[in-house]
Structure 1
Amino acid sequence: MTPSLGTRASRRAARQADAAVAEEIGLTVHDVASDLRRDVAAVRLPLPVAGAADAEASRDRLLAQLDEHLLPRMAELSSPAVVVVAGSTGAGKSTLYNSLLGEEVSQAGVLRPTTREPVLSVHPLDADLLSAGPLVELSRVVQHEAVPRGTALLDAPDLDSFVQENRSTAQQLLEGADLWLFVTTAARYGDALPWQALARATERGASVAMVLNRVPKETLTTVRGDLLQRLREHGMTDVPLFVVPDVGPHEGMLEPAVVAPVRRWLSLLAGPDRSRAVIVRTLKGALGALPGWVTSLADAVDRQRDAADTLRRTVEGEIPAARRLARDAVGAGVVAGASVEARWRELSGAVGVDRVKVRGDRARSTRRAGRARSEALDGLRGDVVAAAARTLVASGARVEERLRGVLAGPGAPEGGESVAPDGTARSAAREESVPPVVEEWADGADALVATAAAKDGDAPPQDAARLAAAVKAYGQHGLATLLLAAAAGSDDAARVLTRVLGTLADGPVATLREDLADRAAGVVDAEVQAVLDELGSTDLVDDAAAGLRVRLAELRRLT
């Protein structure tokens, strides 16, 4: 249908009339709701603590409520009030829907599910007022004269349809509607589904009416009384209740007299002013329900923060002992192991690395022999570096295992398992990061020897001469290798250094051993930091819920 000029004019008039409604709702509400939507969408609950899964589901529902009803409705108050006809499989929704319109508009029958495609019926004069949004996009829109002006009737899929897509669509349509017309039967009104749906409507502040369908005449009074009592018990005393008697086996629509009460009720909503009152009432109800949802979500974010604080304290509490253990492993002088000893025996027999002559405290050797010893000592350096790397890797592995135990073992803090180290990932990270650290340590020995040789003029003449003789006998690189081996715990290397340098070797050996201990402690820190990084998300900081708390304060001022 092509909108007429009159229809366009009516739309402009409706928009002007919205000014009063907007003032009633509050011009700032849309901004607050938009800001709330942004902050709610940003919420992440990374730790699997108690209540996190429920809070995530609540967050998703709150987003759906904002996206599919509140924000679209606030943006377009002139659109007709949407009344969704919803219920469980076989409740007779589509038959009731068609009967209200007096025409087969929505498919009805015994095959399930019958409502595969939502149908949205609107009066032709209101068609131009329908605003784009999820309801229109998901539905087949039908213009029908029987729809009361100012309203739109939506036949939704079954809430308990065996087709997942239908169930999801039904829930989405319910979130976007202004009023729920819930249909159940005398045989099924006690099921869990009707009450779950009604509780969901109440939770989000939606307006609700109920149709009790197919009630046998002989039990009508009893069933209606029981249902009214249940509604009172659920705090729904103001919910309109319509009873449709059981008319027995039939095909097609119900008699007009049977659905006349529901049709009269719908006519009471007709007209721009009255339907807009329904919209405003539902919006106010929805807005009034938001603070409870936001409070619950903010509390869940705070629980995440508290759990993260506990986990951080647990992890950081392991640092002193782990660092001490790693340093002790180096300080005990046991880094050099069997591989270093075997290499030393090989060098002793092949090049006589330990048989340099010493006279008058000075090593006696030619430079050529010194170069040969330096080259031969390269193999020893490789073994020392490899042994040091294994020591540091082992220190990191011990820390990883300990952290996994305190975070995922018996008595672990809540949420710890989710941040416990991944053994495979951490092992690969250590194998990649430790070798450069140890190579840097080895380079430090070369720097020590080079610096000492360059400053020999500052040393006492006797010490300077002794150092120069040792460098001649082993080369700077070879002498640095002996220092590394001694620092790693090689007694053989230490004896050679004592012969050729005496006490001059004590300082460099101690420095290199302390440096390696520091690097072992650094490996420990890296293991701990990997876990702390997992807890360093902005979702777990102290003020993670601050945005939600601000929106909550704004909502409370508005509602």
Structure 2
Amino acid sequence: MDTAALLTQCDRLAALAGRRLTLGTANPAAEARARQLRDHLDGFVRPRVADIDAPLLVLILGPTGAGKSSLLNTIAGAEVSKAGVLRPTTKDAVVYASESDAQRILASGRLGAIAKDRLRLAAAPASADGVAVIDAPDIDSVERDNRELADVLVEISDLCVFVTTATRYADLVPWEVLRRVRERGLPLVVVLNRVPAEEEDRAAVVADARRLFAEAGGRGAKEATELIAIDEGDVDPSVSGLARDKARPLLDRIARLAAEADERRAVAAQALAGALRGLAPLAHSIADDLEH
């Protein structure tokens, strides 16, 4: 990877996005594409090209009430993100990271597109060095600012953990956001929450969800999306979280990433490769916008 050449190309693409953004809001969709490219370059591509070994950003994403905050609490083993019936419970980006990782991430500029009052840091132990987990606002929030913040977080992350439920996994809005996750080649893990405990119903729901996610991956998908099913009622009230034994595959993966620099580098490289592949179509769309 020629770092200098990639950074030069990033500068050219950023200039393209900047030109479109100076034209104002006559075409909101075109402006949104330019803003998306700018946020993606500044929040992910540039910093990741400059430092492939920087901490991974693992994004917890999903619709209202799916259990995103509960999952972060499970990962932390403590209530670090408020979970409850009031919607939306998460209005800011909750960043669970060790002190050294938090300092490194803030210094890198990856969170630069997010207002400081929309960031909340939750302290992780030093043993979590190398992996920061972010709880995003609802992607289908009734509040526009929350949806826009979730969109920005998609652009800056290395791995997406998409949390949905047995009754919500086919909803339209989440799939529109997942389309962008696929476009930028972001590694994806799906947590299917509140699955019926009855064996036949459980099997049917999990099979249908796997089918939909496989179809969403398209013909170019190299591997099946990892799907973790958690049954209805599998919770840990002591931390306002999900049952740790049911979330074990994800917990183990995060622990391995924290422990193994080579595994972190592989995920970062996969996310960067996907991001680079996705730059050309987005840049071409913006160039077309400038011509019309």
Helix, strand or coil: the match of 2:54?
coil
Give the structure 1 partner of residue 247 of structure 2: 259
Aligned counterpart for 1:111 among listed residues 70, 74, 86: 86
Give the structure 2 partner of residue 135 of structure 1: 111
CA contact (8 A) 2:236 2:244 kept: no
Helix, strand or coil: the match of 2:228?
strand
Give the structure 2 partner of residue 65 of structure 1: 40
Change (3 A) 1:44 1:100: closer
Per the TM alignment, residue 27 of structure 1 is displaced from its structure 2 partner at its CA by 3.2
CA contact (8 A) 2:190 2:226 kept: yes
Q: Show CA shifts across 1:469-497 (max 9, x none).
A: xxxxxxxxxxxxxxxxxxxxxxxxxxxxx
Change (3 A) 1:161 1:197: same
For 2:169 and 2:21, how far apart are their aligned partners in 1? Answer: 38
Change (3 A) 1:222 1:29: same
Helix, strand or coil: the match of 1:213?
strand
Give the structure 1 partner of residue 145 of structure 2: 165
Q: Show CA shifts across 1:495-548 (max 9, x none).
A: xxxxxxxxxxxxxxxxxxxxxxxxxxxxxxxxxxxxxxxxxxxxxxxxxxxxxx
CA contact (8 A) 2:105 2:111 kept: no
For 1:166 and 1:204, how far apart are their aligned partners in 2? Answer: 21
Give the structure 2 partner of residue 280 of structure 1: 269
For 2:126 and 2:230, how far apart are their aligned partners in 1? Answer: 20
Counterpart AA for 1:232: A
Give the structure 1 partner of residue 211 of structure 2: 229
1:200 to 2:188 alignment: no
1:293 to 2:282 alignment: yes
Give the structure 1 partner of residue 17 of structure 2: 40
CA contact (8 A) 1:79 1:131 kept: no
For 2:99 and 2:28, how far apart are their aligned partners in 1? Answer: 45
Give the structure 2 partner of residue 246 of structure 1: 232
CA contact (8 A) 1:78 1:129 kept: no
For 1:170 and 1:224, how far apart are their aligned partners in 2? Answer: 26
Per the TM alignment, residue 272 of structure 1 is displaced from its structure 2 partner at its CA by 2.6
Per the TM alignment, residue 88 of structure 1 is displaced from its structure 2 partner at its CA by 0.8
Q: Which of the two has greater helix per residue?
A: 1
1:175 to 2:155 alignment: yes
Give the structure 1 partner of residue 196 of structure 2: 216
Per the TM alignment, residue 238 of structure 1 is displaced from its structure 2 partner at its CA by 3.0
Per the TM alignment, residue 191 of structure 1 is displaced from its structure 2 partner at its CA by 0.2
Counterpart AA for 1:140: R
Change (3 A) 1:122 1:283: same
Q: Show CA shifts across 1:231-265 (max 9, x none).
A: 22122553211111112687422222121111012
Structure of higher RCO (CA pairs closer than 8 Å, 6+ residues apart)? 2
For 1:104 and 1:189, how far apart are their aligned partners in 2? Answer: 25
For 1:243 and 1:177, how far apart are their aligned partners in 2? Answer: 23
Runs of at least 4 residues of structure 1 off by over 4 A?
Answer: 44-49
Instruction: Report the TM-score, using the length of structure 1 for normalisation.
Output: 0.46
Structure 2 counterparts to residues 79-478 of structure 1, below 5 A: 79-124=54-99, 126-132=101-107, 133-135=109-111, 137=116, 138-145=118-125, 148-218=128-198, 219-234=201-216, 235=218, 237-247=223-233, 251=237, 252-270=240-258, 271-302=260-291, 304=292
For 1:48 and 1:166, how far apart are their aligned partners in 2? Answer: 21
- What is the RMSD computed on CA atoms of the aligned residues? 2.6
CA contact (8 A) 2:3 2:50 kept: no
CA contact (8 A) 2:235 2:242 kept: no
Instruction: Report the TM-score, using the length of structure 2 for normalisation.
Output: 0.85
For 2:288 and 2:99, how far apart are their aligned partners in 1? Answer: 47
For 1:134 and 1:124, how far apart are their aligned partners in 2? Answer: 16
Change (3 A) 1:75 1:141: farther
CA contact (8 A) 1:117 1:139 kept: yes
Per the TM alignment, residue 124 of structure 1 is displaced from its structure 2 partner at its CA by 4.6
For 2:33 and 2:76, how far apart are their aligned partners in 1? Answer: 36
For 1:140 and 1:174, how far apart are their aligned partners in 2? Answer: 17
For 2:150 and 2:130, how far apart are their aligned partners in 1? Answer: 23
For 1:84 and 1:48, how far apart are their aligned partners in 2? Answer: 30
Q: Show CA shifts across 1:322-346 (max 9, x none).
A: xxxxxxxxxxxxxxxxxxxxxxxxx
Counterpart AA for 2:134: L
For 1:46 and 1:123, how far apart are their aligned partners in 2? Answer: 41
Per the TM alignment, residue 126 of structure 1 is displaced from its structure 2 partner at its CA by 3.7
Q: Which has the larger radius of gyration?
A: 1
Unaligned ranges ≥5, structure 2: none
Change (3 A) 1:25 1:192: farther
Per the TM alignment, residue 129 of structure 1 is displaced from its structure 2 partner at its CA by 3.3
Q: Which of the two has greater strand per residue?
A: 2
For 2:40 and 2:140, how far apart are their aligned partners in 1? Answer: 20
Per the TM alignment, residue 166 of structure 1 is displaced from its structure 2 partner at its CA by 1.8
For 1:154 and 1:170, how far apart are their aligned partners in 2? Answer: 10
CA contact (8 A) 2:56 2:131 kept: yes
Counterpart AA for 2:152: Q
Change (3 A) 1:57 1:128: closer
